[in-house]
Each structure stands twice: as structure tokens, then as C-alpha cells.
């Protein structure tokens, strides 16, 4: 199971905090609710594309001694199953859907530039997810009038802050900002979670 590393800072600070397993060690198991701290259980690596970074980051894993399942602490600036950071995805969505740029233009000028198919993929998923995002984020902030769900969802994300919104969606309602990939249960869990799953 993935939960969020309760830390919003730079990539550098994230790497420094990872060195200490006690820093954010979960005090109880989110899967079986055992009331004892989890045991550090190594790391897995995943790729990350951020505005000025393209490489590998480590994600810390913990093990519950009661149910023998692992929990990984995903940093808040990434979305499960996606290589690019939340910031990179947000910039593309805003440029295309609020700024009115073409996907090709938004993808070419985005930091970092990317193949337009990747932007197209995010746009498609965001459009499909917009109504659900509006419903969930209405719990956080009053939606402003908007012509459609896509604009309303973007306005809500901008006013809440993308990371704060992602934290709420993922931690509280197990909702993925761009929708869980097909094949996962509605809340993004599956019975045997492959802890080293490569992000798409």
C-alpha cells in the first residue's frame, strides 16, 4: 500500500530526510490498524521527472510485523503510477486548459519539454476525472462559478494548492488526481501490491 510521506519540501530535503528511518516512521499500520510503529523495510526506486530533475528517487518502505504487509511512503510531489512530478503535470494542464495553448505548444514550452502524447494522455485523464475532483474538492473550498467541470476542477486545484489538494484526495478519499490506472480497485489498492511497480 502506498501512503504519502507527510513532507512537502525540495527534492534535496526529501533525500536528506530519507536517511533517517525514524523521521516519518508510521506509528500504526494503515492496513490492519495494529497500534505499533512499523519496521523500516528498505527502499524501492522510481523515476521522477521534475522541472529541473530527471532521474531516480528512493521511496522508503515499512513493514507491519502484525499483518506482514508493506507500506511505502510516497513523497507528496509525485502521483502514484506517473513518472512526472505533480508540478510538471499541473503546469501542462494549466497551460493547455486554462491558458488555451495547444497541446503541442504547451508540451514544447513546458519545463521540461516533453512529447505531446504525454500531455495528451494527462489531459484525457484529467477530463475524465474532473467531475469526481469537483465533488471531492468541494469539501475543502467553495467552488467558484465555472463553465464546466474541467474549469471548475482547475480553479479548485489552483485555490487549494495542488499539493494540498493531492494530499487530501489521496490520504482522505483515496482519489487519484488523474484517476487510478485501469485494473486497480477504485481506491487504488490491490490484494498483492507489487512494491517495485514501475511508474507509467
- Give the residues lining the site for Zn ion (CB under 5 A): 29, 31-32, 34, 64, 66-67
Which whole-number Å values give the CA distances from 114 to 54, 55, 74, 104, 109, in the listed order? 12, 15, 24, 9, 8
Rank residues 34 and 114 by Cβ distance to Zn ion and give the closer one.
34
Rank residues 34 and 140 by Cβ distance to Zn ion and give the closer one.
34
Q: Is 170 left (phi over 0), alpha (psi -120 to 50) or beta?
A: alpha
Rank residues 64 and 150 by Cβ distance to Zn ion and give the closer one.
64
DSSP state of 190: -
Rank residues 34 and 132 by Cβ distance to Zn ion and give the closer one.
34
Query: Minimum CB separation from Zn ion for residue 95, in Å?
Result: 42
Query: Minimum CB separation from Zn ion for residue 65, in Å?
Result: 8
Query: Please, what is the end-to-end C-alpha distance for the chain in angstroms?
Result: 17
How far, in Å, CA of 75 to CA of 96, rounded?
A: 26
Query: Minimum CB separation from Zn ion for residue 138, in Å?
Result: 33
Rank residues 31 and 195 by Cβ distance to Zn ion and give the closer one.
31
Query: Minimum CB separation from Zn ion for residue 38, in Å?
Result: 8
Cα Dmax for the chain: 52
Residue 127, C-beta contacts closer than 8 angstroms, at least 6 positions apart: 150
Cell 507500506 sits at which residue?
71
Query: Minimum CB separation from Zn ion for residue 68, in Å?
Result: 8
Rank residues 1 and 132 by Cβ distance to Zn ion and give the closer one.
1
Which whole-number Å values give the CA distances from 27 to 1, 23, 45, 93, 171, in the listed order? 15, 11, 23, 36, 16
Query: Minimum CB separation from Zn ion for residue 5, in Å?
Result: 18
Amino acid at each position: 500500500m502506498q501512503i504519502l510521506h507527510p513532507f512537502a519540501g525540495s527534492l534535496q530535503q526529501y533525500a536528506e530526510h530519507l536517511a533517517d528511518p525514524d523521521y516519518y516512521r508510521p506509528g500504526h499500520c494503515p492496513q490492519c490498524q495494529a497500534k505499533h510503529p512499523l519496521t523500516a523495510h528498505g527502499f524501492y526506486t522510481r523515476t521522477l521527472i521534475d522541472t529541473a530533475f530527471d532521474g531516480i528517487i528512493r521511496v522508503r518502505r515499512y513493514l507491519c510485523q502484525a499483518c506482514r504487509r508493506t507500506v511505502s511512503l510516497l513523497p507528496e510531489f509525485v502521483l502514484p503510477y506517473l513518472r512526472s512530478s505533480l508540478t510538471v503535470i499541473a503546469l501542462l494542464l494549466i497551460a493547455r486548459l486554462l491558458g488555451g495553448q495547444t497541446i503541442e505548444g504547451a508540451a514544447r514550452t513546458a519545463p521540461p519539454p516533453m512529447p505531446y502524447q504525454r500531455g495528451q494522455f494527462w489531459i484525457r485523464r484529467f477530463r475524465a476525472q474532473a467531475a469526481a475532483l469537483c465533488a471531492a474538492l468541494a469539501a475543502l473550498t467553495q467552488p467558484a462559478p465555472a463553465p464546466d467541470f474541467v474549469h471548475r476542477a482547475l480553479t479548485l486545484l489552483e485555490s487549494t494548492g495542488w499539493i494540498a489538494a493531492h494530499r487530501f484526495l489521496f490520504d482522505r478519499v483515496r482519489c487519484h488526481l488523474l484517476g487510478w490506472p485501469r485494473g486497480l480497485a477504485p481506491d487504488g489498492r490491490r490484494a498483492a501490491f507489487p512494491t517495485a511497480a514501475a511508474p507509467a
